[in-house]
């Protein structure tokens, strides 16, 4: 295996997937923009999906955010937060603060067609261990798509909220993988005293709001003059403003590509050349040795640079935490770190996972070790977890601090505990700062288990859950902070218990004058099974600074189960922001007669600190459906579905403040063309896998009636029952409506909780899922679609809100034309 191969895997595999040939797969010139590149500037994008930007060296010269219709959707609005790392609060006794850092090279998606603002797919790499990372490289680029890749704003938003810098990627592949030396020369082209491509790199970073670029030059055939020009260009680019560069150990000062696996006299000028700083850091190739790292440290110091600006690479793309690493060389026990660490492709934890639970288990194993405890990384495995070596950092240094334990992905969306969206999603712009300590629990008895719960939420798609046997006091450390307490500072927690009972829970707060000693405030009892908020007055601690926030459980119960939906530290009353104004539909695209995608924009709130804006559609019954959210002033709505035959849909956008106060809404309407819609399942042949008795068969669910009493329904007692309807021919469908137990007058506790709707065109086709619903409580549910099918099927996976086993469906309707 050649020493450079790991940094080629993404691009080579991308080319293979796209059917792109190696060297012959790209033209010698890149004056024409590649497919999907924002160089389609000037062409109205209507309501189509915007994507993250990518270019070749010459095509970026044509990029102008003023004419690129996707540009405004790719802007991050979250500034980089400062971080603190108190050595006395590190979870692991072996970890060291202020020494070696971690740079993480991550592929969040393909180079092309990478959605700007998340998508309707909950299956996403929602990284949550930012406390150990210093820089994140948005990895990508390929000969067949584009060589320069800007990070999408969701990743920038999440990283900046956690104090982590984000770099885009500039990738020049070897000739064997489509690389062309002309691209390198195009990149280094000069106009007078300036470098036009460097000007564009700086412009893109500043406009989009990210921090720098990772330069990976692996194309053979260069000479000393080209290498010198590249160094001059980097120094020029750094002079243009706050833009940083990380250089990959490949091209040497002679112009040849030769991986040194160290900082040597052959490549050191790409880091520092006499008194001239060329790049801000260097990623050292994977074949490093102990002697090589020691000599690298010595050389870096002699150049006036820190050894921690060298990131020694390890490749975990193939084997994750089963990768063999000489940890003692990089992070010698009881001694200063030799260099920093460069991680290549830690998203192995997601790509190799079988489901979300498996991903979270693997990600925990990767970052904090086999015991899911950053303070206890003892294991027979060579991979102890990165918390063994690097102390946690925290961005929580100013008020307000608010978290709803939202991971940036979910199967639904809740607002103030109310279900306002029932479809899956990912959007890292909405990710809250994850707990600093995942999970640090101390107890003299049984340890409770903290987890992220994706079945319930107060805001967003998840919450914090504590479960287990409570037989002794448990202290759960959550966040390291540096929050000054004023006379009007409050700590609010929103929580939920299965039934009304004592919470056995206290808020735990430690202060910088005694950072490891917690003061506790009791949270009392709940009055029911819903979300309840407890607001605690911290005025008694005015003048002190909060160093840690956690939870403490007391008492005993054999089956402790409690959810925390939100935690807030703020001063005075909850602040709100002014409403956005000038809500505008920039364009719409008709996906079908009953579905559109939209590009929206608005003027940002004139006053108040905004965390994000939320986009809703108004429903006929007075409720609203969540369509998405962003910190930006523009948002792409991938799916707006027509409700019945409505002639127009009203959209609302409201500002959510940093304290989660909500503004009034800005509104606009979207019109629909005339269409005739009917219930195509009405009185059609229906069959069921089971029925409770002869009077409650499948036909009762398609007879158009819910008022015929308790027998006017399809009922089944078997596990996973299915109801199938033949529409007679393949028909365009716009929505499904399901009427559950309460629609027929029965108890709402018998409304179907979890189910799917499936479709197919013929009896020989496989069923495909058109809608998935979890956690439903409503009597009637509507499920917009844009598809065609002859056969439709309802499959029930959890029939009621309780343990009652009976499925009760009063009507299953398939609407279309």
Cα Rg of the chain, angstroms: 28
The rounded distance, in Å, linking the Cα atoms of 108 and 498 is 37
Q: What does the pLDDT look like over 113-162, one tens digit per residue?
A: 999 999 999 999 999 999 999 999 999 999 999 999 999 999 999 999 99
Q: Secondary structure of the chain: what % helix, strand, coil (to 5)?
A: 20, 35, 45
User: Between 732 and 272, where is the model more confident?
Assistant: 272
Q: What does the pLDDT look like over 687-712, one tens digit per residue?
A: 999 999 999 999 999 999 998 898 99
pLDDT of residue 593: 76
Helices marked H in 312-405: 327-330, 348-351, 356-368
CA-closest candidate to residue 710, choices 674, 742, 756, 669 = 742
Contacts of 618 (CB under 8 A, 6+ apart): 624, 649, 650, 651, 652
Is pLDDT of 779 > 90? yes
Are 594 and 815 a contacting pair, CB within 8 Å? no
Is pLDDT of 31 > 50? no
pLDDT of residue 496: 97
Q: What is the mean pLDDT of residues 226-231?
A: 98
Q: What does the pLDDT look like over 166-187, one tens digit per residue?
A: 999 999 999 999 999 999 999 9
Are 251 and 227 a contacting pair, CB within 8 Å? yes
pLDDT of residue 11: 42
Q: What is the mean pLDDT of residues 81-90?
A: 98
The rounded distance, in Å, linking the Cα atoms of 241 and 602 is 29
Mean pLDDT for the chain? 93
810: Cα separation from own chain's centroid: 39
CA-closest candidate to residue 202, choices 167, 230, 228 = 167
The rounded distance, in Å, linking the Cα atoms of 440 and 476 is 6
Contacts of 510 (CB under 8 A, 6+ apart): 516, 517, 518, 519, 546, 547, 548, 550
Q: CA dist 390 to 173, 368, 792, Å?
A: 32, 10, 54
Tell me the pLDDT band of 30, cut-offs 50, 70 and 90.
Answer: very low
The tally of CA atoms less than 13 A away on the side-chain side of residue 268 is: 19
Phi then psi for residue 201, to 5 deg, are -60, -45
Is pLDDT of 18 > 50? no
pLDDT of residue 7: 53
pLDDT of residue 592: 77
Contacts of 52 (CB under 8 A, 6+ apart): 74, 109, 114, 115, 116, 149, 150, 151, 152
> What H or E segment, with its residue span, contains residue 235?
helix 224-238
Pair of tokens at residue 383:
């991979």
Q: What does the pLDDT look like over 334-382, one tens digit per residue?
A: 999 999 999 999 999 999 999 999 999 999 999 999 999 999 999 999 9
Tell me the pLDDT band of 591, cut-offs 50, 70 and 90.
Answer: confident
User: Between 734 and 664, where is the model more confident?
Assistant: 664
Tell me the pLDDT band of 677, cut-offs 50, 70 and 90.
Answer: confident
pLDDT of residue 6: 40
Q: What does the pLDDT look like over 295-330, one tens digit per residue?
A: 999 999 999 999 999 999 999 999 999 999 999 999
Tell me the pLDDT band of 639, cut-offs 50, 70 and 90.
Answer: very high
pLDDT of residue 1: 24
Contacts of 187 (CB under 8 A, 6+ apart): 57, 170, 172, 197, 230, 233
Tell me the pLDDT band of 557, cut-offs 50, 70 and 90.
Answer: very high
Task: State the CB neighbour count (10 A cutoff) for residue 677.
Answer: 17
Tell me the pLDDT band of 763, cut-offs 50, 70 and 90.
Answer: very high
User: Between 380 and 44, where is the model more confident?
Assistant: 380
Is pLDDT of 272 > 60? yes
Is pLDDT of 100 > 90? yes
Q: What percent of the chain stands above pLDDT 90? A: 89
Q: What does the pLDDT look like over 403-440, one tens digit per residue?
A: 999 999 999 999 999 999 999 999 999 999 999 999 99
pLDDT of residue 3: 38
Are 637 and 661 a contacting pair, CB within 8 Å? no
Are 713 and 721 a contacting pair, CB within 8 Å? no
Phi then psi for residue 734, to 5 deg, are -115, -25
The rounded distance, in Å, linking the Cα atoms of 367 and 358 is 14
pLDDT of residue 2: 35
Q: CA dist 554 to 344, 560, 683, Å?
A: 43, 11, 59
CA-closest candidate to residue 711, choices 813, 812, 809, 814 = 809
Is pLDDT of 656 > 60? yes
Is pLDDT of 163 > 70? yes
Q: What does the pLDDT look like over 459-472, one tens digit per residue?
A: 999 999 999 999 99
CA-closest candidate to residue 282, choices 225, 243, 339, 347 = 339
Pair of tokens at residue 726:
């033949």
Q: DSSP E strands: which ranges in 218-261?
A: 244-248
Q: What is the mean pLDDT of residues 667-695?
A: 91
CA-closest candidate to residue 219, choices 182, 172, 253, 185 = 172
Q: How many residues does the chain have?
A: 817
pLDDT of residue 675: 66
Q: CA dist 262 to 137, 242, 256, 389, 700, Å?
A: 20, 27, 16, 21, 74
Contacts of 157 (CB under 8 A, 6+ apart): 76, 77, 78, 428, 429, 431, 631
Q: What are the beta bridge partners of residue 310?
A: 282
SS3 59: helix
User: Between 151 and 593, where is the model more confident?
Assistant: 151
Q: What does the pLDDT look like over 473-504, one tens digit per residue?
A: 999 999 999 999 999 999 999 999 999 999 99
Q: What is the mean pLDDT of residues 442-451?
A: 97
The DSSP symbol for 522 reads: E
Are 753 and 777 a contacting pair, CB within 8 Å? yes
The rounded distance, in Å, linking the Cα atoms of 366 and 375 is 14
The DSSP symbol for 450 reads: E
User: Between 549 and 27, where is the model more confident?
Assistant: 549
């Amino acid at each position: 295996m050649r020493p450079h191969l790991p940094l080629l895997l993404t691009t080579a595999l991308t080319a293979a997937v796209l059917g792109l040939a190696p060297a012959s797969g790209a033209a010698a010139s890149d004056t024409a923009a590649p497919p999907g590149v924002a160089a389609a500037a000037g062409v109205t994008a209507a309501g189509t999906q915007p994507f993250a930007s990518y270019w070749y060296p010459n095509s970026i010269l044509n990029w102008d955010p003023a004419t690129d219709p996707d540009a405004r959707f790719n802007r991050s609005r979250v500034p980089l937060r400062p971080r603190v790392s108190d050595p006395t609060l590190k979870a692991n006794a072996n970890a060291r603060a202020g020494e070696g850092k971690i740079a993480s090279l991550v592929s969040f998606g393909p180079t092309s067609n990478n959605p700007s603002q998340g998508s309707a797919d909950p299956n996403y790499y929602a990284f949550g261990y930012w406390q150990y990372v210093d820089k994140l490289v948005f990895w990508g680029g390929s000969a067949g798509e584009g060589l320069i890749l800007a990070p999408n704003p969701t990743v920038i938003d999440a990283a900046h909220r956690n104090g982590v810098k984000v770099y885009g990627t500039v990738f020049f592949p070897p000739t064997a993988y489509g690389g062309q030396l002309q691209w390198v020369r195009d990149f280094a082209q000069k106009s007078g005293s300036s470098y036009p491509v460097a000007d564009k790199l700086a412009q893109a970073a500043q406009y989009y709001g990210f921090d720098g670029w990772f330069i990976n030059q692996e194309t053979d055939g260069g000479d000393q003059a080209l290498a010198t020009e590249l160094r001059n260009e980097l120094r020029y680019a750094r002079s243009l403003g706050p833009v940083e560069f990380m250089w990959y150990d490949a091209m040497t000062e002679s112009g040849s590509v030769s991986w040194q696996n160290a900082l040597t006299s052959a490549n050191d000028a790409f880091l520092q050349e006499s008194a001239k700083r060329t790049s801000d850091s260097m990623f050292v190739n994977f074949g490093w040795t102990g002697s090589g790292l020691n000599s690298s440290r010595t050389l870096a110091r002699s150049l006036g640079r820190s050894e921690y600006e060298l990131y020694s690479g390890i490749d975990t793309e193939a084997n994750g935490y089963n990768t063999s690493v000489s940890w003692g060389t990089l992070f010698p026990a009881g001694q200063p770190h030799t260099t920093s660490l460069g991680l290549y492709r830690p998203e192995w934890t997601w790509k190799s996972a079988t489901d979300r639970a498996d991903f979270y288990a693997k990600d925990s194993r990767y970052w904090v070790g086999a015991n899911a405890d950053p303070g206890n990384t003892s294991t027979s495995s060579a991979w102890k977890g990165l918390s063994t070596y690097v102390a946690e950092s925290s961005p929580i240094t100013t008020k307000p601090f608010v978290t709803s334990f939202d991971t940036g992905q979910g199967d639904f969306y809740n607002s103030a505990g109310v279900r306002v969206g029932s479809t899956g999603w990912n959007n890292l712009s909405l990710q809250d700062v994850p707990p600093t300590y995942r999970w640090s629990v101390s107890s003299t008895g049984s340890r409770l288990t903290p987890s992220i719960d994706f079945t319930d939420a107060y805001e967003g798609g998840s919450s914090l859950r504590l479960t287990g046997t409570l037989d002794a006091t448990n202290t759960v450390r959550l966040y390291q902070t540096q929050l000054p307490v004023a006379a009007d500072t409050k700590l609010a927690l929103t929580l939920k218990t299965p039934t009304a009972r004592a919470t056995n829970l206290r808020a735990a707060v430690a202060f910088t004058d005694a950072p490891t000693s917690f003061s506790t405030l009791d949270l009392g009892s709940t009055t029911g099974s819903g979300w309840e908020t407890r607001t605690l007055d911290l005025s008694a601690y005015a003048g002190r600074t909060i160093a840690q926030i956690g939870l403490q459980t007391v008492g005993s119960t054999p089956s402790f189960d409690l959810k925390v939906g939100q935690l807030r530290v703020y001063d005075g009353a909850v602040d709100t922001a002014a409403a956005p104004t000038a809500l505008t539909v920039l364009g719409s695209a008709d996906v079908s007669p009953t579905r559109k995608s939209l590009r929206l924009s608005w003027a940002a709130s004139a006053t108040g600190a905004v965390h994000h804006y939320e986009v809703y559609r108004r429903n006929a019954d007075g409720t609203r459906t969540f369509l998405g959210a962003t910190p930006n002033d523009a948002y792409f709505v991938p799916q707006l579905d027509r409700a019945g035959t409505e002639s127009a849909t009203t959209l609302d956008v409201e500002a959510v403040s940093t304290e989660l106060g909500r503004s009034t809404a800005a509104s606009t309407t979207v019109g629909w063309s005339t269409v005739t819609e009917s219930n195509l399942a009405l009185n059609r042949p229906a069959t069921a896998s089971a029925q409770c008795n002869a009077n409650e068969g499948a036909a009762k669910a398609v007879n158009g009636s819910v008022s015929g009493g308790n027998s006017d329904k399809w009922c089944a007692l078997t596990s996973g029952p299915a109801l199938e309807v033949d529409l007679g021919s393949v028909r365009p469908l716009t929505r499904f409506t399901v009427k559950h137990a309460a629609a027929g007058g029965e108890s709402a506790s018998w409304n179907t909780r979890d189910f799917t709707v499936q479709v197919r065109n013929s009896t020989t086709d496989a069923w495909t899922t058109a809608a998935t619903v979890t956690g439903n409580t409503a009597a009637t549910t509507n499920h917009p679609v844009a598809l065609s099918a002859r056969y439709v099927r309802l499959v029930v996976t959890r029939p009621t809100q309780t343990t009652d086993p009976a499925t009760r469906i009063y009507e299953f309707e398939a609407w279309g034309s």
